[in-house]
Amino acid sequence: MKKGISFDRLARYEGNLPRYTSYPTAVQFTEAVGFNEYQQWLQALPEGEPVSLYLHVPFCDELCKFCACNTQVVHQESIRSAYGDLLCEELKRLAGFLQARRSVSFIHFGGGTPTTLPMNAMKKVMQTIYNLFDIQQNADISIELDPRHVSVEYFSMLHPLGFTRVSFGVQDLDPKVQKACGRIQSKELTAHCINVVRQNYIQSVNMDLIYGLPNQTVESLSATIRSVVELKPDRLAVFGYAHVPWKFKRQTLLEGDVLPDSIERFQQRQVIDEILQEAGYQVIGLDHYALPHDSMSKSAQQGTLHRNFQGYTVDDAPALLGVGASSVSIVPQGIVQNHPSVAAYQKAMSQEGLPIARGVGRDEEDLLRWTVIERLMCDLYIDLNQITRQYNKPDNFFDDALLKLKSFEEDGLVKIESYKITVTEEGRCFLRNIVVVFDTYYRVAPQRHAQAI
């Protein structure tokens, strides 16, 4: 157990909490906010400001049992191509509602597995983006992929289309864990994928890892992390397994022993942290790591890191515009989500407008609280005096939140001085527990959020 963290203390902070990739969180989304509100927000975006794009492809070649993403297995190329056409159509509608032609600083294809889009469909989607928007010269254009189901020919297409970074799942390299999760992916295949990516001029490689899976142990994870370090990915995202079987029934199919308890999960997280830092990776916020040369490391050091539904990001565009089934859009005035299922999304696209299913408006206090939550999640520091002055709030505005943080201070997780909060190294893994005190919407409820640690 890491210095300063006791089992008793860990037990006090158990529970399920939001990931805080937005505020208000998705729990607050309602059907009362839809296309009409979003259209007004889009048209109110100041001219000249860049936007970023997120495109969701909800297809996979096979499902992983641990997955908590909106995806389904679809093998028919005609269906995949037709979905690509829907993405193009939504992009055209979106650009029309923006009124003025916009510059784009960041594009990310997520899923699912975006490389399930046939090559011609991917080319068509990217060409549509280039036709409708001005892509900045230094734009970050990234895509998620599955090394088990992507061809060398597909890899060779990415750089010419403008992609600068790829992200792919590893989760764990131990055969017993892979069998329990239904995802068999050898170290050799993973290494081959990285080599091919780099041979095709992709600048940055990100890997996703998960702890807290069936059959995982501290020893097996140590071996996985040491193997991953040998491959030298530029970035790593290390997530605790989100066990939400009430939402994703496929998780009931997980095999093997019972899931690790909170103490085992914490120990697994700590060994990952120790090995990666020893290997020269910089810790980024709660659960990301990057080599010093990577833009995410530089952004963290400069205090310009941000957080959205993709996790930590260097994207600083004021508006993130989502395209595709279940995608989320975030603008200052509010947050909206497209219809989550492909069928509902397709039906909505047969009508006029954009396929918005639900959302939530944001007032000034929401933006204030999001500023506090985001800066704590990214910088592990906040000067509340500065923030309250920025939003014209009284000096004592956060007194109730600071009172709730007293126990965290007594446990050595934060330091509070003159309305300035600093999260200690011991407190880093409790970030979600810390920022929840600033969330006025949060209510304890079963089957709502994933495990906090």
What does 254-266 look like in DSSP terms, one character per residue? --SSPPP-HHHHH
DSSP symbol at 32: T
Residue 111 has pLDDT above 90, yes or no: no
Beta strands in 1-43, from DSSP E residues, in sequence order:
16-17
Among 9-13, 251-255, 287-291, 338-342, which stretch is predicted with the lowest mean pLDDT? 251-255
- pLDDT for 256: 52
More confident residue, 238 or 71: 238
* The two three-digit tokens of residue 216, written as one number: 């995982």
Distance CA 17, CA 373 (A): 13
Is residue 407 scored above 90 in pLDDT?
yes
Report the alpha-carbon distance of residue 64 to residue 326 in Å, rounded. Answer: 19
Q: If we measure between CA atoms, which residue out of 254, 250, 255, 268 comes closest to residue 1?
A: 268
- Asked if pLDDT for residue 186 goes beyond 50, the answer is yes
Q: How far is CA 340 from CA 56, 61, 337, 347, 348, in A?
A: 10, 19, 8, 12, 11
Number of Cβ atoms within 10 Å of the Cβ of 429: 23
Residue 243 pLDDT exceeds 60: no
Q: Using the predicted structure, report yes or no on whether residue 223 has a pLDDT greater than 80.
A: yes
Residue 373: CB partners within 8 Å, gap ≥ 6?
A: 20, 23, 435, 438, 439
Cα separations (Å) of 85 from 52, 122, 125, 444?
Answer: 20, 10, 8, 42
More confident of the two residues 453 and 90: 90
Cis peptide before 18 (omega within 30 of 0): no
d(CA 261, CA 180): 17
Cα–Cα distance, 165 to 173 (Å, whole number):
22
Q: Which of 79-83, 92-96, 149-153, 175-179 has the lowest mean pLDDT?
A: 175-179
Model-level pTM?
0.92
Residue 149 φ/ψ, nearest 5 degrees: -140, 50
What residues contact residue 174 under an 8 Å CB cut-off, 6+ apart? 215, 216, 220, 221, 223, 224
**CA distance linking residue 340 with residue 357, whole number of Å:** 8
At 64 the pLDDT is 66
Q: Per-residue pLDDT for 189 more than 70? A: yes
Average pLDDT over all residues of the chain:
90
Task: Specify whether the CB–CB gap between 290 and 238 falls below 8 A.
Answer: no
Per-residue confidence band for 66, with pLDDT thresholds at 50, 70 and 90: low
- Over residues 284-293, mean pLDDT: 96
What b/e readout covers 267-300, taking b as 16+ CB neighbours within 10 angstroms? bbbbbbbebbeeeebbbbbbbbbbbeebbbbebb
Look at residue 73 and tell me whether its pLDDT is greater than 90: no
SS3 label, residue 109: strand
CA distance from start to end of the chain: 14
**What three-state secondary structure class fits 161?**
coil
Amino acid at 22: S
Q: What confidence category does residue 1 fall into, taking pLDDT thresholds of 50, 70 and 90?
A: very low
pLDDT at 215: 87
CB count within 10 Å of CB 383 equals: 14
Query: What is the token pair recorded at 397?
Result: 């505005």
Cβ atoms of 174 and 222 closer than 8 Å: no
Structural domains of the chain, ranges and CATH numbers in brackets: 27-361 (3.80.30.20), 364-451 (1.10.10.920)
What does the pLDDT read at residue 3?
46
At 255 the pLDDT is: 52
Please say whether the beta carbons of 211 and 268 come within 8 A: yes
The predicted model gives 287-315 an average pLDDT of: 95
Among 291, 316, 314, 374, residue whose Cα is nearest residue 20: 374
Segment 92-106 shows an average pLDDT of 95
pLDDT digits (tens, 9 = 90+) for 341-382: 999 999 999 999 999 999 999 999 999 999 999 999 999 999
According to DSSP H, which parts of 200-308 are helical?
A: 218-231, 262-278, 295-302
| Residue 245 pLDDT | 58
What tokens appear for 141 in the block?
């254009």
Q: From residue 439, how far is each of 340, 369, 434, 435 by CA, in Å?
A: 26, 7, 10, 7
At 261 the pLDDT is: 79
Q: What is the pLDDT of residue 13?
A: 78
The lowest-confidence range among 68-82, 239-253, 278-292 is 239-253
